[in-house]
């Protein structure tokens, strides 16, 4: 039976969610986290909704078997596909991440907002509802294949990908770029080279960390240390864990 001393499960389709994990650690240094990257089944964002749901269910079973007290879905795609269903099915707190369109809307000065995410995230009703409310001036840009470049740490290729993606737009008229996939957060240095300096680049990591803290506090589930991290993957651990550890240090 999970209690406040139990670990918090965090998962993504791959390594991108370690950026979220880093934000969670900063906000809640006294918590223990188990991070699971479902690398063997990545990417989620170009699968069907049903295939993605099946992957998420397997990850949930894996985390629940370790008696976690809460789950953070460090993946915009899995949140859009599965968060509502999982909350209906389980008692424990389930925190999701979504594209930071609201904060982008709030800082918009009449220019456009480029929203980068997986094809699935941009297709589903969760994003449609967000877009309906905060989508003025927002241009959704699906980025199939981009998460794979982060998995491979292929930043040169990612820079070429983004250069092509941005080519049709006048970047001097852009107020913000929303990173609606946790993998893309690791492309911030590349984006800094491509975007004018006044363009704000937003992600949902800090907001997700604050939300987790609020929910744990409300349910009296906050731990008081010692904190720590366990990294796990469904892929080749010898190859993937060092990448996760490197990105976690960088984040």
Binding site for ligand DGL (CB under 6 A): 12-13, 16, 42-45, 75-77, 118, 121, 147, 181-183
CB 72 within 8 Å of CB 95? yes
Q: Going by C-beta distance under 8 Å and a sequence separation of 6 or more, which residues neighbour residue 223?
A: 4, 5, 30, 31, 32
Please report which helix (H) or strand (E) contains residue 188, including its range.
helix 188-194
Angle, vertex CA 245, rays to CA 239 and CA 251, nearest 5: 135
Residue nearest ligand DGL, CB atom distance: 45
In whole angstroms, how close is the CB of 91 to ligand DGL at the nearest point? 25
Q: Of 52, 55, 143, 181, which residue is the catalytic one?
A: 181
CB of 108 to ligand DGL, least distance (A): 23
Least distance from C-beta 121 to ligand DGL, angstroms?
6
Of 75 and 86, the one with the shorter C-beta distance to ligand DGL is 75
Of how many residues is the chain composed?
A: 251
Shortest Cβ distance from residue 164 to ligand DGL (Å)?
19
Q: Which is nearer to ligand DGL, 28 or 80 (CB)?
A: 80
Decide: 10 and 70 in contact? Cβ < 8 Å: no
Closer by beta carbon to ligand DGL, 187 or else 223 = 187
- For tokens 């010692």, name the residue: 226
Taken in order 38, 41, 42, 48, the sign of the CA dihedral is negative
Active site includes 55?
no
| Residue 75 known to be catalytic | yes
Residues with active-site annotation: 75, 181
């Amino acid at each position: 039976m999970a209690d406040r001393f139990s670990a918090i499960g965090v998962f993504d389709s791959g390594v991108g969610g370690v950026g979220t994990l880093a934000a969670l650690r900063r906000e809640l240094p006294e918590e223990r986290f188990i991070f699971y990257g479902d690398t063997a089944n990545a990417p989620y964002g170009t699968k069907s909704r049903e295939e993605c749901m099946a992957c998420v269910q397997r990850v949930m079973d894996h985390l629940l078997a370790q008696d976690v007290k809460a789950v953070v879905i460090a993946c915009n795609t899995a949140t859009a596909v599965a968060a509502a269903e999982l909350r209906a099915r389980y008692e424990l707190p389930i925190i999701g991440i979504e594209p930071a369109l609201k904060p982008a809307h709030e800082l918009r000065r009449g220019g456009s907002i480029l929203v980068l995410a997986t094809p699935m995230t941009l297709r589903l009703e969760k994003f449609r509802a967000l877009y309906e409310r905060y989508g003025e001036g927002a241009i959704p840009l699906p980025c199939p294949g981009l998460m794979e470049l982060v998995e491979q740490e292929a930043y040169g290729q990612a820079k070429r990908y983004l250069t092509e993606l941005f080519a049709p737009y006048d970047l001097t008229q852009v107020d913000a770029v929303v990173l609606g996939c946790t993998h893309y957060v690791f492309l911030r240095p590349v984006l800094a080279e491509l975007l004018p300096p006044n363009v704000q680049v937003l992600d949902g990591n800090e907001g997700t960390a604050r939300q987790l803290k609020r929910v744990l506090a409300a349910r009296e589930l906050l731990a008081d240390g010692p904190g720590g991290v366990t990294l796990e993957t469904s892929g080749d651990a010898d190859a993937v864990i060092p990448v996760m550890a490197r990105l976690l240090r960088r984040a």
